[in-house]
Structure 1
Amino acid sequence: MNSATGDTPLAQAGTAERAYYKVTIEAPIETVWNTLVKTDDALPFFFGAICRTPGSLEPGAPIAMETKDGKFRSVVGEVLEFSPPHRYAHTFKFTNMEDAPCTVIYELKAIAGGTEFTLITENVPVGTKTEKSMAQGGPFITENLKSLVETGKPLMSGKMVMMLGPVMGWFTPRVCRSENWSFDRIRKLEK
């Protein structure tokens, strides 16, 4: 089940307050957490990207969602919170868009029969390409994470992303090249 709702006092002027995407995953919380925070594999629920960081995932660390070949970075941000196995939050900026960063929060809760996984987006600039992409990405991420954890395989949409990844480099804007998004530059974005 996916749901998107709003309303929180944390929103900034001109930003969508919050959107929630929830799913129940039939697996222990540790299994879901370990899959979510992998930094050494291309992740189909993150559109085939590898989560790169210069060290470990910890508050203040810059992160980049990078193609398997390392040539492009589609999303950059900074870890805001890392509390295993319950909560992980980071800023989020698409490298091909001029929109201001927003915040992504992953919350995990152990429940009978598995884990409740909630993806929360907040302070997304209203009326932007980022807002549209985030609204489409939330269900994709939650459902592909669920499938990968429960079956060992992503949904067909996740498989397609993984298959098309190598070809997409031809169509990726130059602004997304990894050399344009060093970890030093990512750190400066957040200041």
Structure 2
Amino acid sequence: MAEQPGTEDAVFKIFIEADIERVWHELTKTGEAQGAVFNAWLHTTGLKTGERMQMRTGTGKHVIVDGDIVTFEPPYRYAHTHRFTQYDDPPCTVSYELRPVGSGVEVTLRVTGMPTGTRTAKSMTSGGTTILASLKAICETGRPSLGTRLMYWMFDHLEFVLPARTRSEHWPLNRRQ
């Protein structure tokens, strides 16, 4: 996808020595923390194109990301719009593409349409590598690295510092962006 004026794109790739279904499950699971995606919980009105999605804290009291599912083609492609609730930045699009390669899966994480120079662009550009490294660790060893687990522990215990604007009551799941 070509960049729009005033936007930027980022592409991250990794090879994971695991079955494609295992990798897909880690990216789309609901009902438990997604260790690859900063230990957030995926909430959705349905895992299919056109439905709403959010990434929330473990308590469910705060929405970190709000969006709409753009593409859902198990187990190969999952894309959604992405808006950090703590920023006033416009949304971008995040897509995960899985391709079986030999004894594993090549995962491509694309972030398209990030508004240039925004906190969203800065966060997404630095977060892509972390997400894929955590996904690899979880799929290959069963858990993220010790450093990542410590970071997640801090996230859980410092949830109270999140801005009031991220509280779930301000972001009902059934509303459209």
**TM-score (structure 1 length as normaliser):** 0.89
Contact kept, 8 Å, 2:85 with 2:165, in 1: the verdict is: yes
2:27 matched residue in structure 1: 36
Q: Which residue of 2 aligns with 1:14?
A: 6
What are the equivalent positions in structure 2 for 1:1-191 lying under 5 Å apart? 8-9=1-2, 11-16=3-8, 18-54=9-45, 56-185=46-175, 187=176, 189=177
Q: Contact between 1:74 and 1:96, CA under 8 Å: does it hold in 2? A: yes
Q: Which moved more, 1:44-53 or 1:144-153?
A: 44-53
Deviation at 1:165, TM superposition (A): 2.5
Q: CA deviation at 1:69?
A: 0.7
How many angstroms apart in 2 are the aligned matches of 1:165 and 1:41? 16
Could you tell me the percent identity over the aligned residues?
41
Considering fraction of residues, name the structure with more strand: 2
Q: Deviations over 1:18-53 (max 9, x none)?
A: 211100000111111111110111112211110001
The amino acid of 1:42's aligned partner reads: A
Ranges in structure 1 where 5+ consecutive residues have no aligned partner:
1-7
The CA distance in 1 between the partners of 2:23 and 2:156, in whole Å, is 27
Bigger shift: residues 115-124 or 45-54? 45-54
CA distance in structure 2 between the aligned counterparts of 1:161 and 1:178, rounded to whole angstroms? 22
TM-score (norm 2): 0.96
Q: What is the alpha-carbon root mean square deviation over aligned residues? A: 1.1
Q: Structure 2: state its 5+ residue gaps.
A: none
- Rounded to whole Å, the distance in 2 between the matches of 1:58 and 1:157 is 33
1:143 and 1:53, CA in 2 relative to 1: closer, same or farther beyond 3 A? Answer: same
Q: Secondary structure at the match of 1:130?
A: helix
AA at the equivalent of 1:35:
E
Counterpart code for 1:41: E
Q: Distance in 2 between matches of 1:149 and 1:174?
A: 34
**Aligned AA (1:118):** T
- 1:90 positional shift: 0.3
Where in structure 1 do 4 or more consecutive aligned residues deviate above 6 Å? none
Residues 58-93 of structure 1 show CA distances to partners (whole Å, capped at 9, x for unaligned) of 111111101111100100100000001100000000
Equivalent residues of 2:26, 2:36 under 8 A apart: no
